Amino acid sequence: MTRSNEGNPISTGAAKEKLERIANVILVGSGKGGVGKSTVASGLALSLSHEGQRTALLDIDIHGASVPEYLDVAPPVRSSEKGLEPKMKDDLKVMSLGLFTGSLPVPMRGGGKQELITQLFALTNWGELDCLVVDLPPSMGDELLSALSLFSGKATLVLVTTPSPGAVSVVSRLRRLAETEKVPVHGIVVNMAYVLAGKTKTFPFGRPDRKLLEAKFKSTVIAEIPLEPLVSTRGLDALLKESNDFSRAFRKLAECIGH
Amino acid sequence: MSLYDGRAQRHANLHELSIAQSIVDTVLSEVQEKGAKRVTEISVDVGQLMQLDRKALAFALRLLMTGPALKGARVHVHVSKASFSCRKCGSAWGMAEVQKQLAEVPDTLRVREPDSKELPLHFLPFLYPAFIRCPRCGSSDIFSKEGEEIQFRRVVME
C-alpha cells in the first residue's frame, strides 16, 4: 500500500468515503483568472442553498483563496469528533484553505498540492449533501487536475467566461481538457455580461454572442450574469436575497444546475 | 467499540482517532480486495510535521482493530523526522529549528479542538510553506524532503 499516482491511500480512502454521501459535485472553473469564478461559485452555492438544497462550497485555491472574503467567514476552524467543521453561511457549509492561512502567503510549488486538497476534502465533516460546489483556481495545474481526479465520476463542470474574446479563447482550452478527461460540461456561465444603469444595459466586455459561444464551447449558455458593483459594498449574500437582475440570474443558474 | 466513546477520547485527541479510523478502513478495504483472511502486522510512518501523538495513535489503532480480520495484529507507529531545504541558500534543517516560527502562528489560525488549539499543520501538513521559512536566509522558497505525511511502512496479511 504505497503511494500511487492517485495519492496517499489513507487520505484517498477517506475521501472516497466522504464522496459517497455527496450526490453531485459541480466544479466551477475557467482555466483563467479574473473572470469571476469565485463570485459565480459562491453565488451559485448560496442560491442552491436558498432553494433548500443541502449544499457546501469548497474553495481549493491554494495561493489565492477568496471565498472567505466573499462570504464573510473567518478563522478559526473548529474540529469535532466528525472532522473539521465547515463554516456556516446560513445553511451553506463553507470550507476554504484560506480559513487556515488567513492573510499569510502560501508560496508552494507542485508536489504536495494534490495531497493537501485531498486531505482538506477528506477531513471536512460535510455530512449528507445534495450538491458540493468546488471553486477551482485559475490555470490548469495541480489544483485543477487534482480536483478532476478526486471527484472523478461524480463531477460536472461549469465553465465561466466573460464575453471578452481573450477570456473566451483561454476558457475554450479548459473545454477541450474536459473532453479529453471525460468530465461532462454542464454549461457556460457568461459573467460580467452587462452592466445595468437604470434600465439601460451596457456591455463593458462586448455584447455576448450566445450562438458563437455555444458553437465554440459545444455547450449551452446557462446564465448571463451582470457585473454588479454593489457586491463589494453590500455583500454577495445580501444582494442575492433581494429581487434584482443579479439575483434572478443566479436563481436561474441554480435551477438549471439543481434539477 | 465505537471510535468516539469515552475510553478512546481519554487517551487520544480527536484527530488521532480520526486518522486511526482511516488507517483501519484502508487496511480493511485492502484485505477485502486481496481476499486475505487476516492481518498480522500494521506498521505506519507518521510525519513529524503533523505533531501527532504517536502513543495515542497506536492506542486508537489497537482499540479499533476488533473484527476477525484485524484482532491481535501487531501495531507499530514510527515517527519519520521532518527535514527541510531552502532552494535559495541551500541550507537544510529539521523541526527543532522551526519551533520558534511555529510558536508564532497566530492564535486565530489555530484549529479549535474541544480541549486544545492545534496548528493547521496538525491536520494539513502540506500547508507548511505558509508557516515555515528558511532559518538562515528567511526565504519562503523551501521544500520538505520527508516527514510530512502518514504512510504505510508494512502491512502483513495472510
Task: Enter the ipTM.
Answer: 0.91
B152 in the same domain as B117: no
Residue-number span of the structural domain to which A34 is assigned: 9-258
Asked if A138 contacts A41 with a C-beta cutoff of 8 angstroms, the reply is no
Q: Residue B114 has what pLDDT?
A: 86
Q: Chain A: nearest CA to B61, how far in angstroms?
A: 14
- Let me know if residue B1 belongs to a domain: no
Asked if B135 contacts B85 with a C-beta cutoff of 8 angstroms, the reply is no
Distance of alpha carbon B29 from alpha carbon B27, whole angstroms: 5
B73 in the same domain as B56: yes
Interchain CB contact of B23 with A (< 8 Å): yes
B74 in the same domain as B26: yes
Segment B44-52 shows an average pLDDT of: 93
Asked if B157 contacts B31 with a C-beta cutoff of 8 angstroms, the reply is yes
B63 in the same domain as B38: yes
Interchain CB contact of B148 with A (< 8 Å): yes
| Residue A196: other Cβ atoms inside 10 A | 14
Segment A192-212 shows an average pLDDT of: 92
Segment A129-157 shows an average pLDDT of: 93
Per the structure, how many domains does chain A have? 1
Surface of B (114-133) touching A: CB under 8 A = 114, 117-118, 120, 123-124, 126-127, 129-131
- Let me know if residue B141 belongs to a domain: yes
- Let me know if residue A108 belongs to a domain: yes
What's the CATH number where A138 sits? Answer: 3.40.50.300
Residue-number span of the structural domain to which B19 is assigned: 6-81+147-157
Q: Residue B1 has what pLDDT?
A: 40
pTM: 0.92
Tell which residue, A198, A159, A199, has the closest CA to residue A176.
Answer: A159
- Let me know if residue A182 belongs to a domain: yes
B120 in the same domain as B70: no
B57 in the same domain as B99: no
Segment A70-76 shows an average pLDDT of: 96
B107 in the same domain as B66: no
Would you place residue B5 in the very low, low, confident or very high pLDDT band (cuts 50, 70, 90)? very low
B67 in the same domain as B91: no
- Strands B150-157 and B142-146, by their bridges, are unpaired
Q: Is A5 exposed, middle or buried (0-12, 13-18, 19+ CB in 10 A)?
A: exposed
Grid coordinates representing B129 are 510553506
Segment A124-151 shows an average pLDDT of: 93
Q: Chain A: nearest CA to B140, how far in angstroms?
A: 7
For the packed helices B54-64 and B14-34, what is the interaxial angle rounded to 10 degrees? 50
Considering only alpha carbons, which residue of chain B is nearest residue A99?
B109
Nearest to A116 among B9, B124, B144 (CB): B124
Residue A142 makes CB contacts below 8 A (sequence gap 6+) with A110, A113, A114
- Let me know if residue A38 belongs to a domain: yes
Tell which residue, A70, A159, A155, A171, has the closest CA to residue A121.
Answer: A155
Per the structure, how many domains does chain B have? 2
Tens digits of residue pLDDT in A148-200: 999 999 999 999 999 999 999 999 999 999 999 999 999 999 999 999 988 89
Would you place residue A5 in the very low, low, confident or very high pLDDT band (cuts 50, 70, 90)? low
Nearest to B124 among A14, A111, A119 (CB): A119
Q: Chain A: nearest CA to B130, how far in angstroms?
A: 5
- Let me know if residue A2 belongs to a domain: no
Nearest to A1 among B4, B30, B123 (CB): B30
Q: Cβ separation of B124 and A107 shorter than 8 Å? A: no
Q: Cβ separation of A1 and B110 shorter than 8 Å? A: no
What is the DSSP code string of A142-193?
HHHHHHHHHTTTTEEEEEEE-S-HHHHHHHHHHHHHHHHTTPPEEEEEEET-
B39 in the same domain as B56: yes
